[in-house]
A = this chain, B = another copy of it.
């Protein structure tokens, strides 16, 4: 284990600008585990650039240390190193930890940066505006390429813009008209104006954009559909406000996927980075709901106590029906949730999806009804028991496919994340129905 520590120490000794922030952060976390003093010393030794990048991805407890142990001046300088979207995110996270210090940091920023962050902070979490950077490069249609390049050099050398992919052509009201890749400028005579080069290339230099208040999910869809590296953000009047870049889209895709996987398993992605205690508390919430639905199932079983006492085989076989139903439901759920999130399915396709999922599960219901009836017959030498388990297996599996697709589609219809809570609902139904159908059929047919 000490190797971790030595490696981490080595890595943090020489931090260059192209060191992976992820690795630096991991090393920092390792150092903290072994030696608090060295950790604080390391934290203080970071230049503002490294500090800024670490702060964007580091867990809450290290952010707390930054607020506590570093000067407001240094933190403010680090914030200024970041692009507007990352700076805003960081300020939001600081604010949750210590609103007063965050205000002091904000007051240390240039009035321009401060205003920008305060404006961006107002966007709702899931809107395109919340993810946009305001560092963009614009030109008017009458400007010559040459003049624009001169301005670009100045902006770039002064550090006002960093990674620029496109020049946005705007009209005199600031409305977005076209977008031209900077590398495309190399193809033209620099004496030409933008109007000259757009004239016969309006399709090619068309701009892709999203409105600032629209769902960020829509931005992901546009970027993926058209393989864009950058997407413009405009307001309702078409005025250019900023851009969303491919690296933010990468992060969003990963975050969405993590959230889906966690939600389907009853885990809250936001707290998993925190202490084991907080994670346990969040997971206990879903376990509590599962306990409640399990108690309902137990109550269903208790309705048939007499039957179980008469024929203990029922207690032995009933979990099989419930388990197979739960599995079939989870399959339908995973497929439906994922297709919904990838926009491969919309609500108007609901009927088609439900029919397909029910069909698949009905088909498997038939197969496993037959298999299980044979096993039950061989095991307990009772033909009617085979019939009972076959029928309940068929009913439970067919319905598992139906609820596995119906539940997420319905949640989506009511704008609720279909990955959250669906699993618990579906297992509750397949468990309850599995026990109930099996025991009721046994009571009717066997006893």
Contacts and interface: CB of A to CB of B under 8 A. Distances in A.
Interface of A: 1, 4, 16-18, 20-23, 149, 152-153, 156-157, 164-165, 181-183, 185-187, 203, 206, 223-227, 229, 246-247, 249-251, 253-254, 256-258, 260-262, 264-267, 272, 276-277, 279-280, 283-284, 286-287, 290-291, 294-295, 297-298, 301-302, 305, 308-309, 312, 314-320, 322-324, 327-328, 330-331, 333-335, 337-338, 342, 348, 351, 356, 359-361, 363-364, 367-368, 371-372, 375, 427, 431, 435
Contacts of A22: 224-225
A253 B442 CA distance: 49
Contact of A320 (B294, B359, B363): B294
A402 to B, nearest CB: 14
24 contacts: A22-B224, A164-B183, A246-B246, A246-B250, A253-B254, A257-B257, A258-B338, A258-B342, A261-B337, A264-B265, A267-B335, A276-B360, A280-B361, A284-B368, A286-B327, A290-B327, A294-B320, A297-B320, A297-B323, A305-B316, A308-B312, A315-B315, A315-B318, A318-B319
A363 B287 contact: no
Nearest to A343: B22
Q: How many copies does the complex hold?
A: 2
A33 to B, nearest CB: 9
B283 A297 contact: no
Nearest to A20: B225
A203 B15 CA distance: 13
Given A17-B203, A186-B185, A284-B367, A298 B277 contact: no
A110 B15 CA distance: 49
B227 A338 contact: no
Contact of A261 (B149, B229, B264): B264
A319 B431 contact: yes
Given A291-B320, A327-B290, A364-B280, A186 B149 contact: yes
Contact of A267 (B164, B226, B287, B334): B334
B342 A265 contact: no
A367 to B, nearest CB: 6
Given A183-B183, A290-B324, A294-B319, 10 more contacts: A20-B225, A22-B224, A153-B186, A164-B183, A165-B229, A185-B186, A224-B254, A256-B257, A277-B363, A294-B323
Nearest to A376: B298
A187 B162 CA distance: 12
Contacts of A284: 364, 367-368
B206 A227 contact: no
Given A258-B342, A260-B261, A261-B334, A368 B323 contact: no
B364 A287 contact: yes
A375 B294 CA distance: 12
Nearest to A424: B327
Contacts of A291: 320, 324, 368, 371-372
Contacts of A318: 315, 319
Contacts of A247: 224, 227
B225 A364 contact: no
Tell which of A153, A227, A251, A337 has the most Cβ of chain B within 10 Å. A227
Contacts of A1: 351
B266 A250 contact: no
Contact of A223 (B17, B250, B253): B250
Given A165-B183, A315-B301, A331-B283, A294 B262 contact: no
Contacts of A330: 265-266
Contacts of A367: 284
A276 B363 contact: yes
A301 B276 contact: no
A356 B279 CA distance: 10
Contact of A283 (B337, B360, B372): B360
A328 B360 CA distance: 28
A280 B356 CA distance: 10
